[in-house]
Every structure is written in structure tokens, then in C-alpha cells.
């Protein structure tokens, strides 16, 4: 479980990752999306099953930020070992930040 202050910090951190990894029109569109979904993003759990990870209010963003951090750590490890990259840093961050977006529901209805 995380508190209200950490939920706010996580949303700010999410926006910081956006600012650091995207620019121009894509950044503006992603910021518009996250602003429209702000409340859901901040308070949604990562799962409705209480035995799964982060199944608590605020768990969605906490989970997404962890996935993003690990994805970037793995990217650095692959680069250290001269692995062939078949993706850009922007693609890596986009996928790690938004692969769980469907868990928030659609424009009219929350999923959780």
C-alpha cells in the first residue's frame, strides 16, 4: 500500500519520464492523454486480483514506473554487452510506460 503523497510523487515522476524521453508533437499528445486520464492513472491498482502485485490504489503507476526503470536497466546491460538494438530509446520508453494502458478502461468507463 502506498499513501496519497507517494501517489502524487509517482504521477510527477511519470510526467518527468515523459518529458525526458519524448518531444514535440508526440510529447504534447502524451501529456494530453495523461492529463485526461490523470485521476484514473493516479488511483488505479495494477490488478484487481488482490494476490497479484500492486493490487492497491496507486498500484498502476507504481508498477508502470518499475517496469520502465527495469526496461532501461536492461537496455544498458544489453548495450554493455554490445547486443544489437532493434528499437529506439523512445520506443523502449513508450512500450514500458503505456503497455498497461488498457487496464484503465475506455474513455467512458473505468476498468477497475
pLDDT tens digits, 67-110: 999 999 999 999 999 988 899 999 999 999 999 999 998 888 88
Counting the structural domains of the chain, the total is 1
Residue 6: predicted pLDDT: 96
pTM, two decimal places: 0.91
Domain presence at residue 43: yes
E strands in the chain: none
Supply the DSSP symbol for 104: G
C-alpha to C-alpha distance for 33 and 27, rounded to whole angstroms: 10
C-alpha to C-alpha distance for 79 and 66, rounded to whole angstroms: 20
Q: How far is CA 109 from CA 8, 22, 48, 58, in A?
A: 23, 28, 15, 18
| φ, ψ at 55 (rounded to 5°) | -85, 60
Residue 50: predicted pLDDT: 82
Least confident of 9-13, 26-30, 31-35, 100-104: 100-104
Domain presence at residue 109: no
pLDDT, the chain, mean? 93
Place of cell 513508450: 94
Domain presence at residue 112: no
Q: Which domain holds residue 8?
A: 4-104
C-alpha to C-alpha distance for 16 and 20, rounded to whole angstroms: 6
Three-state helix/strand/coil letters over 65-76: HHHHHHHHHHHH
Domain presence at residue 71: yes
Amino acid at each position: 500500500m502506498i499513501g496519497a503523497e507517494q501517489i502524487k510523487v509517482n504521477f510527477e515522476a511519470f510526467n518527468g519520464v515523459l518529458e525526458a524521453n519524448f518531444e514535440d508533437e508526440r510529447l504534447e499528445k502524451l501529456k494530453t492523454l495523461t492529463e485526461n486520464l490523470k485521476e484514473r492513472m493516479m488511483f488505479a491498482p495494477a490488478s484487481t486480483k488482490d494476490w497479484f502485485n500492486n493490487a492497491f490504489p496507486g498500484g498502476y503507476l507504481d508498477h508502470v514506473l518499475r517496469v520502465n526503470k527495469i526496461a532501461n536497466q536492461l537496455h544498458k546491460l544489453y548495450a554493455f554487452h554490445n547486443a544489437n538494438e532493434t528499437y529506439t530509446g523512445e520506443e523502449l520508453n513508450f512500450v514500458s510506460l503505456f503497455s498497461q494502458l488498457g487496464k484503465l478502461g475506455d474513455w467512458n468507463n473505468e476498468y477497475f
